[in-house]
Amino acid sequence: MTRKISILLSCFFALLFVENIIAQVPPSGLIPFVFKVKTDNAGDSSNNQFTIPINSNQTYDYDVDWEYDGDVPNYEDVNVSGNITHIYDSPGTYTIAIIGVFPQIFFNNSGDRLKIIEVVQWGTNQWTSMEGAFYGCENLDVTAIDAPNLDDVTSMRAMFRGCTNLIGTESFNTWDVSQITTMRDMFAYARNFNQPLNHWNVSEVTSMSSMFNGATIFNQDLTWNVSKVTDMSGMFFSARDFNGDITEWNTSSLDFMFSMFWGATNFNQDIGNWDVSSARYMSYTFRLASSFDQNLGNWDITNVRNIGSMFSGAGLSTTNYDLTLIGWATDNSGLEADGEDDIPTALTFHGGNSQYCESETKRQELIDIYEWEIEDGNLHPNCGNIELSLKVYLQGAITNPHIGEEHLMRDDLRVAGVLPITSPYTDNATIDPIVLNTSGSDAIVDWVWIELRDATDQNLVINAQSALLQRDGDVVSTDGTSELVFLNTPDDYSIVVQHRNHLGILTNSVMSLALDTYVDFTSSNSLVTGGELALINMNNGIFAMYAGDANTDGNILNTDINNAISVSGNINSYLGADANMDGNVLNTDIVLFIQPNAGRIQQF
């Protein structure tokens, strides 16, 4: 009898053991949601505790393994239906696994939000909402390489808002967000997030308000279908680095655009063909968006009701501002088409520091006929003339740059005090000595000579002037800051840049010059006659004019070598033989520049 009882007890305990093991093994195909917490971070619970936050409006029935080791989970708490707090033996970092009915995690900027530090695995959990899920979880990162199951989710509002340490992984781009209708505040203030999201299907989303507000480094192309989005207010507010391609967006449903690019200081995509015909609110759209300069004249502003402070703290070039005002002062459909004048009335518009020229008449019509109040930079003082911004590098000054300043030329001549205040060129232009006190990227490197040549006869110089070259390659007028102004009618011209000991360059085709014309000779040799024979590739993504023309005759020959030899040893001087522009004529000028470039000639 005793033996039978012993056998029965053994079987009973064996069954209990097996039952316990079975209880710990998740149903076939289910994978737990796994995350890490650091209990001694600040929170509502004690420094050896953590509380799982839930939304009381949802129904829960979940199991928790509080110290998941990555193997078979050991669910200490089962059939949990609400918030639950666990007490650990000591403060520390722990991995938690959850399985079961767990529709929403809900920190919502409260509770133990600072204790969660990592989402390791999304698992197969069936989420029903991500609204406020990790809002305020400043220490959180998501390292999971799988994607959450979002089939039943419609709201991602504030999902990662305030997650300032969120970096994420490329797996974010694999998320199926096709059921989502709101992404408002989703990555607001996630200032370290910059993962690609271009594969997202956002075709059902209606609100993207403040989605990347304060996401300062986010800069990804977003080739999305946003045709149902009505609210993009503040979407890229203070998204400092953002300049992703959004040019092809279908914005036909868009109503709210206010503050959309406020403070997006790097943004300058051509969105001039957006359909904004439904938009009513555009105030502050480009406030402080200092890089934005596009023609918005094709925008249909028929339904706009508020356009105040649109460009305050920023502004368009005169060319694009003119085109924008002319477009907006034109009836888009025409009276003949619908019998109505579609230009909105009584708007208050702020054009920032934008200045106008050709749009002067249309601008006045908006004021006089349509009762607009317009504040901007007023009439451009150089209307009818050419305003030219150039960028060029000199081989001598860009060679051996200071550490960390590889895209800045050296200003050794200025530092040595040998840079003259009178131009070495024929116009004998002078500068105020205070101009040479400027340091940094805008410090003056040397004088250059700029010519406008006839469109049909490149030997015919129409106008020319001395200018100053800054360390960053910008060519400025003798005041040390302004663009070059030529008192010539805007038209087609060729441009020449000359320097006293570098080979000059000539554009290989005529350019249409007017106000706000910008030409960059530093990123390619494709704009100049002779190509690689005219600009040397410095092998760091920049191109520069060839050094070594010591006697300024347009050739680098033995005569230049002889010239350098004859004045070798001169210290703190301003001489043509100083090929590396450090103020000294030494053997290095000959060996590093004049000899290697010998035989090169100016290509015009």
> Over the stretch 489-538, which tens digit does the pLDDT of each residue have?
999 999 999 999 999 999 999 999 998 899 999 999 999 999 999 999 99
Is residue 410 within 8 Å of residue 445, measured between CB atoms? Answer: yes
% pLDDT > 90, the chain: 92
Determine contact, residues 117/142, Cβ cutoff 8 Å: no
Mean pLDDT value across residues 40-57: 98
What average pLDDT does range 119-134 have in this prediction?
A: 98
Predicted confidence band of residue 44 (pLDDT cuts 50, 70, 90): very high
Q: HSE, CB side, 13 Å, CA atoms: give it for residue 383.
A: 12
> In which band, very low, low, confident or very high, does the pLDDT at 342 lie, cut at 50, 70 and 90?
confident
Instruction: Using DSSP, state whether 569 is helix, strand or coil.
Output: coil
- CA distances (Å), origin 108, targets 125, 212, 215, 589: 20, 18, 19, 66
| Max CA separation in the chain (angstroms) | 124
Q: How confident is the model at residue 425 (pLDDT cuts 50, 70, 90)?
A: very high
- pLDDT at site 22: 40
Across the chain, mean pLDDT equals 94
pLDDT recorded at residue 19: 44
C-alpha dist (Å) from residue 31 to 72, 73, 125? 11, 10, 7
Dihedral of CA 144/146/149/151: which sign?
positive
Q: List Cα–Cα distances, 371 to 139, 300, 312, 349, 542, in angstroms.
A: 52, 18, 20, 11, 50
- Ramachandran category for residue 593: left, alpha or beta (phi over 0 → left; psi -120 to 50 → alpha): alpha
Residue type, 562: N
pLDDT for the residue 265: 98
Q: What is the pLDDT of residues 445-477, one digit of tens each?
A: 999 999 999 999 999 999 999 999 999 999 999
- pLDDT for residue 531: 98
What is the pLDDT at residue 16? 43
Cβ count near 464 (within 10 Å): 17
What's the pLDDT at 333? 53
**Residue 420 zone, left/alpha/beta (φ > 0; ψ -120 to 50; rest):** beta
Averaged pLDDT, 194-222: 99
Cα atoms found within 13 Å of the Cα of residue 524, Cβ hemisphere only: 6
Q: What is the mean pLDDT of residues 15-25?
A: 42
Percent of the chain exceeding pLDDT 70 equals 94
Asked if residue 376 lies in contact with residue 356, where contact means CB atoms within 8 angstroms, the answer is yes
What pLDDT is attached to residue 13?
43
Cα separation of 402 and 519, whole Å?
Answer: 26
Q: What is the pLDDT of residue 331?
A: 82
67, pLDDT greater than 50? yes
332-346, 395-409, 430-444: least confidently modelled range: 332-346
Above 70 in pLDDT, residue 7? Answer: no
Structure-token pair, residue 214: 């304060």
Residue 127 pLDDT greater than 80, yes or no: yes
Side by side, the strands of the sheet bearing 141-142 are 77-80, 61-65, 93-101, 33-38, 116-121, 141-142
Per DSSP, the three-state class of 102 is coil
The tens digit of pLDDT for each residue in 543-590 reads: 999 999 999 999 999 999 999 999 999 999 999 999 999 999 999 999
Which domains are assigned to the chain? 386-597 (2.60.40.1120)
Average pLDDT value for residue range 215-242: 98
Q: How confident is the model at residue 541 (pLDDT cuts 50, 70, 90)?
A: confident
pLDDT category of residue 27 using cuts at 50, 70 and 90: low
SS3 content of the chain, % helix, strand, coil (to 5): 15, 20, 65
* Confidence (pLDDT) at 328: 97
Q: Are strands 93-101 and 61-65 parallel, antiparallel or unpaired?
A: antiparallel
Can you give the pLDDT at residue 339? 57
**Region 320-339: what's the mean pLDDT?**
79
- The DSSP H or E segment spanning 499 is strand 491-499
Alpha helices in 342-436 (DSSP H): 360-368, 395-398, 412-416
Distance, CA of 524 to chain centre: 22
- Give the whole-angstrom CA distance, residue 586 versus residue 577: 9
Residues in CB range of 306: below 8 A, 6 or more apart? 258, 280, 281, 282, 283, 347
